[in-house]
Amino acid sequence: MCGIVGYIGSQDAQEILLKGLEKLEYRGYDSAGIALAHDNGITISKEKGRIADLRKIVDAPGLATVGIGHTRWATHGAPSRLNAHPHQSSSGRFTIVHNGVIENEAELKRDYLSKVALQSDTDTEAIVQLVERFVNEGNSTEEAFRLTLQLLHGSYALALLDAADTETIYVAKNKSPLLVGLGKDGNVIASDAAAMLHMTDRFLEIMDEEMVIVKKDKVTIQKRDGSEVKRAEFIVELNENELDKGTYPHYMLKEIDEQPLVVRKMMEAYLNEDGKLSIDDQIIQAMNETDRIYIIACGTSYHAGLVGKQLIEKLAHVPTEVHIASEFSYNMPLLSKKPFFIFISQSGETADSRAVLVKVKALEFPTLTITNVPHSTLSREADNTLLLHAGPEIAVASTKAYTAQVTVLSILANMIAKDKGIENLSYELAIAASTMEVLCNEKKKIEQLTQQFLTASRNAFFIGRSIDYYVALEGALKLKEISYIQAEGFPGGELKHGPIALIETGTPVIALTTQANVNASIRSNIKEVEARGANTCIISMEGLEEKGDKFVIPAVQELLTPLVSVIPLQLLAYYAALQRGCDIDKPRNLAKSVTVE
Ligand code: F6R
């Protein structure tokens, strides 16, 4: 989703900004632009499409050492050159980039800007026009920016340039992610650290409702009332090489292949001095005191949460509910007396999940974030964090974060379960990691299955029972998001209550069976759809396999099957998208970091 960058220093701002925007590409966007400050004013270049298209049109008159840049994922107004950022005030003095949504945009335009001829359909333009209005009324730029921020309702990460003072970038944040980076001969701003690792690894967190004055050699953080805030910097330990896809054709394939390694890395990270998988006592104690766990997440992380529920309830016998964040936020269920909240988020920035975190924190309930990104908003704001150690996930379709989430949830469930847990979990996870490796080497076979079942199809169904149903949901999500084949996941037993009406001759049905207790019943469901002409692709687990199954997964511990059964489904989605010529790492309309509600 939208990303912003900024630079002020003594180097070539154009290249620094373009490189930063390229690093933000993975977040998803539909247009991009930069503004560069020169002695004679501010030059704006913006374009619909990719950064490569923007590169072709950037035409700066000489070296600029100050600038701001933006990748836009349309919210207000269609993706177009006109709506792309940066936006300027009517006189051209002020230029802004914005990530977020201004909820009271209509009121602001009506009450303050009725006489201004607005150029774009965006909410962002209102912000820059308000700054100009307040400056025209006699305020300094800093004061005008502050007055403007006081009027904004909604989410924003903002960077503002003033053509009359090109030695300052005015920055502010509320709900949308934003960091300030401290360089050797200049400073940077970015939506995430990855965008500016080529400049620095030293960053400052910016909190909601703060405003920052960024100069070449000084960064001043202020509260809304103008009082100064002192903040210690932190070091981002991220290797720039980890952001590279190496010899892989796509990040998604690289990330699928990294999964066995990620499970092993996590086992290492969660091993205590006694060589046992373990989790911080403070977290376990808080969880032991709860009467009900609430898992909050979106998309793939929600699917990992469903597996987590199964693990926690089966092993630790603690009642657990899993909720889609955007639903929970506006329709909170009746809570138990002592709830404990777990937020699962690869990015740690998902606005829907964060909205729930803010609400439950206000109610003073204990919270834990499971995330791949240290220092992310959800990590900072929850009481505790468990990291995924999956390395940067760049492909929009989440793969290694999902298996990492399931891994950490299995360790967590086992810790709360005490002696009722999986005996020798390290051994079972090691088996799962080796099996994942075996499956990642079965690409040819999966590619052929994809051709046989999915490439030419307009729809597909994924079915399973119990924990396999949760993996079926994830398989369907993966397929639909990158290949655009309409795909749905159903519990096998539910088919006859409606969805079976959609089955016709040749409809692909991918059926998972890894659980002994539901093997017979899912096989009956498979017969039911076959009788109606479905083209079934059965993926079973060793020990449960039958003649005619298309793919047999080597056996793993029965609650850890999602770690392995998801891999053929990820690869099916990958090859379906490849065979259909889709943009695998950047599927249409989707963003990696979903920072608006
Ligand atoms: C699907 C996918 C999304 C994310 C969802 C939540 O492949 O990646 O469904 O899982 O947007 O994102 P995070 O986990 O960052 O909160």
- When pLDDT is averaged across residues 27-48 and rounded to a whole number, the result is 90
Residue 377's nearest CA partner among 192, 222, 154 is 192
Name the most confidently modeled range: 190-199, 326-335, 584-593. 326-335
pLDDT exceeds 90 at position 73 = no
Taking only the tens place, the pLDDT of each residue in 286-345 is 999 999 999 999 999 999 999 999 999 999 999 999 999 999 988 999 999 999 999 999
Q: Is the CB of 388 under 6 A from ligand 1?
A: no
- When pLDDT is averaged across residues 210-226 and rounded to a whole number, the result is 95
Atom of ligand 1 nearest to the CA of 397: 7
Residue 243 is predicted with a pLDDT of 79
pLDDT band at 82 (very low <50, low <70, confident <90, very high): confident
**Measured distance between the N- and C-terminal CA atoms of the chain, rounded to whole angstroms:** 11
CA of residue 303 to ligand 1 center, whole Å: 10
Of 354, 594, 596, the residue with max ligand 1 atoms within 8 A of its CB, to mutate for a pocket test, comes to 594
CA of residue 73 to ligand 1 center, whole Å: 16
Report the nearest-CA residue for atom 8 of ligand 1.
Answer: 398
DSSP letter for each residue of 390-441? -----SSS--HHHHHHHHHHHHHHHHHHGGGS-TTHHHHHHHHHHHHHHHHT
Q: Is the CB of 96 under 6 A from ligand 1?
A: no
Of 191, 192, 256, 298, the residue with max ligand 1 atoms within 8 A of its CB, to mutate for a pocket test, comes to 298
Report the nearest-CA residue for atom 13 of ligand 1.
Answer: 345
Atom of ligand 1 nearest to the CA of 302: 10
Q: Is the CB of 390 under 6 A from ligand 1?
A: no
Proportion of the chain above pLDDT 70, given as a percent: 100
pLDDT band at 15 (very low <50, low <70, confident <90, very high): very high
DSSP letter for each residue of 84-149? SSPEE-TTS-EEEEEES-BTTHHHHHHHH-TTS---SS-SHHHHHHHHHHHHHTT--HHHHHHHHH
pLDDT exceeds 80 at position 584 = yes
Q: Is the CB of 255 under 6 A from ligand 1?
A: no
Residue 451 is predicted with a pLDDT of 95
- When pLDDT is averaged across residues 253-262 and rounded to a whole number, the result is 96
Domain boundaries, the chain: 3-239, 250-440, 442-583
Q: Is the CB of 301 under 6 A from ligand 1?
A: yes
CATH of domain 3-239: 3.60.20.10
Least-confidence region, from 25-34, 143-152, 280-289, 381-390: 25-34
For helices 400-417 and 281-288, angle between their N-to-C axes, nearest 10 degrees: 70
Residue 511's nearest CA partner among 569, 459, 457, 555 is 569
Taking only the tens place, the pLDDT of each residue in 557-572 is 999 999 999 999 999 9
Q: Own/partner pairs for 148-153, CB < 8 Å, 24+ apart? A: 149/174, 149/209, 149/211, 149/224, 150/224, 151/104, 151/108, 151/112, 152/102, 152/104, 152/108, 152/127, 153/102, 153/103, 153/104
CA of residue 186 to ligand 1 center, whole Å: 34
**178 phi-psi bin (left φ>0, alpha ψ -120 to 50, beta other):** beta
CA of residue 267 to ligand 1 center, whole Å: 23
Taking only the tens place, the pLDDT of each residue in 337-389 is 999 999 999 999 999 999 999 999 999 999 999 999 988 899 999 999 999 99
pLDDT band at 80 (very low <50, low <70, confident <90, very high): confident
Proportion of the chain above pLDDT 90, given as a percent: 83
Q: Is the CB of 252 under 6 A from ligand 1?
A: no
Q: Is the CB of 299 under 6 A from ligand 1?
A: yes
Q: Is the CB of 347 under 6 A from ligand 1?
A: yes
**Per residue in 97-125, is it b (16+ CB within 10 Å) or e — as a string?**
bbbbbbeebeebbeebbeebeeebebbbb
Catalytic residues, by residue number, are: 2, 592
pLDDT exceeds 90 at position 1 = no
Domain 250-440: give its CATH architecture: 3-Layer(aba) Sandwich (3.40)
CA dihedral (544, 545, 550, 553) in degrees, to 10, reads 60
Q: Any idea which residue has 């046989």 for tokens? A: 452
Residue 433's nearest CA partner among 567, 250, 544, 279 is 567
**What are the tokens at 282?**
């403070």
Q: Is the CB of 300 under 6 A from ligand 1?
A: yes
CATH T-level fold of 442-583: Rossmann fold (3.40.50)
CA of residue 378 to ligand 1 center, whole Å: 14
Residue 576 is predicted with a pLDDT of 97
Pairing of strands 165-174, 210-214: antiparallel
Topology agreement, domain 250-440 and domain 442-583: yes
pLDDT exceeds 90 at position 236 = no
pLDDT exceeds 90 at position 523 = yes
Q: Is the CB of 573 under 6 A from ligand 1?
A: no
The amino acid that residue 480 corresponds to is K
pLDDT exceeds 80 at position 32 = yes
pLDDT band at 142 (very low <50, low <70, confident <90, very high): very high
pLDDT exceeds 80 at position 249 = yes
Pairing of strands 156-162, 165-174: antiparallel
User: Is residue 86 reached through a cis peptide bond, with omega within 30 degrees of 0 on the bond before it?
Assistant: yes
pLDDT band at 590 (very low <50, low <70, confident <90, very high): confident
Across the chain, what does the average pLDDT equal? 94
CA of residue 298 to ligand 1 center, whole Å: 6
CA dihedral (229, 216, 204, 398) in degrees, to 10, reads 140
Residue 404 is predicted with a pLDDT of 98
- When pLDDT is averaged across residues 243-251 and rounded to a whole number, the result is 90
Residue 132 is predicted with a pLDDT of 98
**Residue 385: what are its φ and ψ, rounded to 5°?**
-135, 140
CA of residue 344 to ligand 1 center, whole Å: 9
Q: How many CB atoms lie within 10 A of CB 80?
A: 16
pLDDT exceeds 90 at position 49 = no
